[in-house]
A and B are shown apart, each in its own frame.
Chain A
Amino acid sequence: MNENYIVNIVLPVLLTLGAPVVGGLLMGVDRKITARMQSRVGPPLIQPFYDAIKLWNKRPVIASRLQPVLAFSYLGFSLLAFGLLMFRQDLLVIVFTTALADTCLITASLNSKSPYSYLGGRRELLSVLAYEPVLIMAFLSIYMVTGSFLVDEVLAYRMPLLIQLPAVLIALVLVLIVEMKKSPFDVSASGHAHQELVRGVYTEFSGYTMAMLELGHWVKVTLVLSIVTLFWAPNLLIGAALSLAAFFIVLVVDNSYPRLTWRSMIKTTWGVGFILILANIVGLNLMGVI
């Protein structure tokens, strides 16, 4: 009884609160690996935390009074989505919660007169449009195999999902690229050296609002990586290795491709993503598995 309590409540809460820390470290690893790929030394591993603390303490310039509220909701809904995953709830509800988080971000960016922020917000909307159907299709295929959308039952499934759904995992890597705002799909916000539209959706944020958006972004990246972890549910350590491998592939792609336009982004994610997932489902059907 007591142990159940720890596993069902305390552990998920702790994991959810730890998500920003894990996400921040992942971003540090990202910057370090990217630097090494460009034969640079790169910033220290905890650089993202320095950035976040600095932003938090900088005097903010608030473009509209709604923006801090929306930035806070973005972080809140991202954490809620991650929490739902840790409490082993419904996968579909998790997608809709992340969609709500994105809506907050987009509304906040449209809530200023800056044309750059406006364009960035519209492009963010397009990237949501690009990855969300693929994510839902991936969950649908998980449902077809395991017979449930509940993470609890996906975890209890008798064999690793990867064996039956290898192509779906590749489609999820596409989702991860869009979600991490990496080349070739970094249309909505530009970080680091490649500047376009000033800072895209993030243009009008500063100080603590920007820090909250950064935290929310880390949590969302960790969320998608945790979903990849589900593909080797019987042993979550192997699953974590799998998600780190996906993370590394995203970085390789990021460093070897230039940015595409938003049209190509939607064509690629929908075209490649849907074909991969459908081929996987049809293949399983032909083999008589489902």
Chain B
Amino acid sequence: MKTKTKARLKSPWVLHYDCGSCNGCDIEILAALTPKFDAERFGIVNIGDPKQADLLVVTGPANRRNHRVLKRLYDQMPDPKVVMAVGTCASTGGIFHNCPNTLGGIDKVIPVDVYVPGCAARPEQIIDGVVLALQKLSEMSEKEDD
């Protein structure tokens, strides 16, 4: 593996966006960063700045109000980037699926690479999802050179 790809896999910086979830999934994401699960041992840092993030983690369904913000955050992230939908809401709309103000899953607005189902998704599942996202990132990184 190239140094470049290795460095990318070793330091995924996360941007977490709450698209109007019930906060159940957000708490689980924060739980993944606490000492019990310690995501930083894999180099995962919750950076909060789209211009420096590699991994967009979205919770909650896209709705008519915030889909523009979501799109813009996605556009502000430089390549290579991966998007993760955490929770049933973000994947399909979940319990909000037939609300008049929601559009459904976030894949209605931006392309999604990894879906983590569950209401709420457990920290173990979220970390599993990150591992999948990293595989995708490594494929992207290798393809970039060809």
> Are A and B bound to each other?
yes
Interface of A toward B, CB cutoff 8 Å: 31, 35, 38-44, 47, 49-51, 53-55, 57-61, 191-193, 195, 198-199, 202-207, 210
In the complex, A210 Cα to B54 Cα: how many Å?
Answer: 14
Beyond A40-B35, A40-B38, A61-B76, is A199–B48 a contact (Cβ under 8 Å)? Answer: yes
Interchain CB contact (< 8 A) of A50 among B11, B33, B47: B11
Within 8 A of A (CB), among B35-57: 35, 38, 40-43, 45-49, 51-52, 54
Residue pair A47, B10 in contact (C-beta under 8 Å): yes
CB contact between B40 and one of A35, A195, A202 (< 8 Å): that residue:
A35
A-B contacts, 24 of them at CB < 8 A, read A38-B35, A40-B35, A40-B40, A42-B41, A43-B41, A43-B42, A44-B10, A47-B43, A50-B11, A51-B11, A51-B13, A54-B8, A54-B11, A57-B7, A58-B54, A61-B51, A192-B46, A198-B49, A199-B48, A199-B49, A199-B52, A202-B49, A203-B49, A206-B51
**Interface residue? B3 (CB, 8 A):** yes
B3 to chain A, nearest CB (A): 6
- B-side interface residues, number (CB < 8 Å): 27
A61 cross-chain contacts in B, Cβ below 8 A:
51, 76, 78
Residue of A at shortest CB range from B47? A199
CA distance A199 to B80 in the complex (A): 20
Given known pairs A41-B38, A41-B41, the reply for A203 and B7 (CB within 8 Å) is no
CB atoms of B54 and A54 under 8 A apart:
yes
CB distance from A115 to the nearest CB of B (A): 14
CA distance A88 to B3 in the complex (A): 36
Query: Which residue on chain B has the smallest CB distance to residue A198?
Result: B49
Q: Is the interface of A mostly helix, strand, loop or mixed?
A: loop
Q: Nearest 6 pairs between A and B by C-beta?
A: A53-B7, A206-B51, A50-B10, A195-B48, A40-B38, A199-B49
Complex CA distance for A195 and B49, rounded to whole angstroms:
9
Query: Which residues on the A side are within 8 Å of B72 (C-beta)?
Result: none
Q: Which residue of A lies closest to B46 (CB)?
A: A193
* A202-B49, A206-B52 known; A47+B11 contact, CB < 8 A: yes
Interface-centre pick from A38, A44, A54, A207 (highest chain B CB count, 10 A): A54
In the bound complex, what is the Cα–Cα distance between A96 and B10 (angstroms)?
37
- Name 10 extra pairs, CB < 8 A, besides A50-B43, A60-B78: A38-B35, A39-B35, A40-B38, A41-B41, A53-B7, A54-B8, A195-B48, A202-B52, A205-B52, A210-B52
CA distance A44 to B6 in the complex (A): 13
Query: Cβ of B80: which chain A residues have Cβ within 8 Å of it?
Result: 58-59
Residues from 53 to 98 in B contacting A, C-beta threshold 8 Å: 54, 76, 78-80
Contact B51 A204 (CB under 8 A): yes
Q: Does B4 contact A (CB under 8 A)?
A: yes
Q: Are B35 and A198 in contact (CB under 8 A)?
A: no
| Interface pair B4/A57, CB less than 8 Å apart | yes
Question: Are B40 and A205 within 8 A (Cβ)?
Answer: no
* CA distance in complex: A18, B10 (Å): 23
A58 adjacent to B78 (CB under 8 Å): yes
- CA of A205 to CA of B78, assembled, Å: 11
Q: What A residues does B33 contact at CB under 8 A?
A: 193
A44 to chain B, nearest CB (A): 8
Residues of B within 8 A of A41 (CB): 38, 41
Give CA–CA (A41, B86) in the complex, Å.
25
Contacting residues, chain B, for A39 (C-beta < 8 A): 35
